[in-house]
């Protein structure tokens, strides 16, 4: 019986050693993993050392191990851990979910008192202005409407012939004003046309520059379509990104001449588009791929 326990402990330790080596190959510390997965550092250390008794309960041990395997892209090892950690404990689902449920967020109704205050101020200002101008408004209402004498300057004692002459002169003035206005419109239209043509030429030049810039730049798009994946991206000798892509998260990287080198932690979980074309990913768990400026894709492991 003691011999069987020793063998079981050794197998757990070997699995933990695989996790540790994979983490170190990616240049990740326990603090980095704890920050990304929210698993306490002491629990990660217990998993890597195979000391399952240091984890807080069987159901939590299974949860932490699953999260760690998914983070490293080693989910295929779960079947071995599952045999060592069977669900033989009676745990209430409600208590477990309650432990990890996020705190409730309250919604505070937006106060609209300021809207009513502004409306009251506007109404008060309008009423005050009307009150101050009341005498002027009354004078306008009481003013007699002598259209003929005001508009044409013809008195009330004018003869019908005088009134007819004034009306004819008024119509002539109206026709002259219409002709002048149309001439002004033609001049303004002719003055505007060169500006319109010049603006279209500038837009065409800007569009041509944008298309040229798109042809020069090379764009790499990485999308975690089937699960989480850790990636490290370098452009030439410069590291430009390192982190874990969550499910359905997309990252875009651009270069003009230098190749882009990407190390994938879980290559089966991602889709990659290089220079507008979806590329076929190599097989394996942890792989390194080089995306060259001429469009070629080379496995660099």
User: Which pLDDT value is given to residue 87?
Assistant: 72
In this structure, the number of other CB atoms found within 10 A of the CB of residue 251 comes to 16
Whole-angstrom distance, CA of residue 290 vs CA of residue 301:
9
* pLDDT interval class at 33 (50, 70, 90): very high
Give the predicted TM-score (pTM) of the model: 0.33
**In 217-300, where do the E strands start and end?**
218-223, 229-235, 238-245, 250-255, 260-264, 271-274, 277-279, 287-291, 297-299
- Find the mean pLDDT for residues 216-220: 77
Residue 277 bridge partners (DSSP): 274
Cα–Cα separations (whole angstroms), residue 47 to 26, 31, 61, 77: 18, 14, 8, 13
- Sign of the C-alpha dihedral, residues 25, 30, 32, 35? positive
- Find the mean pLDDT for residues 95-108: 49
Report pLDDT digits (tens) over 193-208.
444 455 677 777 777 7
pLDDT greater than 70 at residue 88: no
Residue 273 bridge partners (DSSP): 221, 278
Report pLDDT digits (tens) over 44-82.
998 898 888 888 888 888 999 999 999 999 999 998 888
Task: Please check whether residue 66 is in contact with residue 85, taking contact to mean a CB–CB distance below 8 angstroms.
Answer: no
pLDDT greater than 50 at residue 97: no
Report pLDDT digits (tens) over 251-296.
999 988 889 998 988 888 899 999 999 988 888 768 898 888 888 8
Whole-angstrom distance, CA of residue 210 vs CA of residue 99:
53
pLDDT greater than 90 at residue 247: yes
Q: What are phi and psi of 251, to 5 degrees?
A: -125, 140
Q: Which residues of 34-71 are buried (b: 16+ CB within 10 A; e: fewer)?
A: bebbebeeebbebbbebebeebeeebbbbebbebbbbb
What would the two tokens of residue 200 be?
């279209």
Of residues 96 and 144, more confidently modeled: 144
User: Which pLDDT value is given to residue 248?
Assistant: 93
């Amino acid at each position: 019986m003691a011999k069987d326990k020793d063998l079981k402990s050794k197998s757990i330790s070997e699995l933990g050693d695989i996790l540790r080596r994979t983490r170190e190959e990616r240049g990740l510390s326990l603090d980095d993993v704890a920050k990304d997965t929210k698993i306490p550092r002491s629990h990660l250390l217990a998993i890597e050392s195979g000391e399952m008794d240091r984890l807080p309960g069987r159901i939590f041990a299974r949860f932490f191990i699953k999260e760690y395997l998914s983070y490293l892209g080693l989910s295929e090892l779960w079947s071995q851990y599952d045999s060592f950690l069977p669900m033989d404990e009676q745990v209430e689902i409600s208590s477990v979910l309650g432990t990890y449920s996020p705190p409730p967020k309250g919604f505070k109704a937006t106060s609209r008192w300021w809207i009513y205050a502004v409306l009251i101020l506007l109404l008060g200002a309008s009423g005050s202005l009307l009150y101050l101008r009341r005498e002027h408004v009354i004078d306008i209402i009481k003013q007699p409407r002598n259209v003929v004498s005001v508009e044409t300057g013809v008195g009330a004692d004018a003869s019908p012939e005088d009134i007819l002459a004034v009306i004819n002169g008024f119509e002539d003035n109206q026709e002259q004003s219409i002709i002048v206005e149309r001439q002004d419109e033609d001049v303004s239209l002719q003055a505007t046309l060169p500006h319109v043509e010049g603006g279209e030429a500038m837009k065409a030049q800007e569009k041509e520059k944008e298309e040229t810039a798109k042809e020069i730049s090379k764009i790499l798009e990485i999308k975690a379509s089937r699960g989480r994946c850790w990636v490290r991206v370098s452009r030439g000798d410069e590291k430009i990104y390192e982190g874990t892509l969550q499910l359905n998260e997309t990252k875009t990287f651009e270069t003009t001449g230098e190749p882009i080198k990407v190390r994938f932690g879980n290559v089966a979980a991602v889709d990659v588009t290089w220079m507008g074309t979806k590329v076929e990913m190599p097989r394996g768990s942890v792989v390194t791929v080089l995306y060259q400026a001429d469009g070629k894709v080379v496995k660099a492991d």
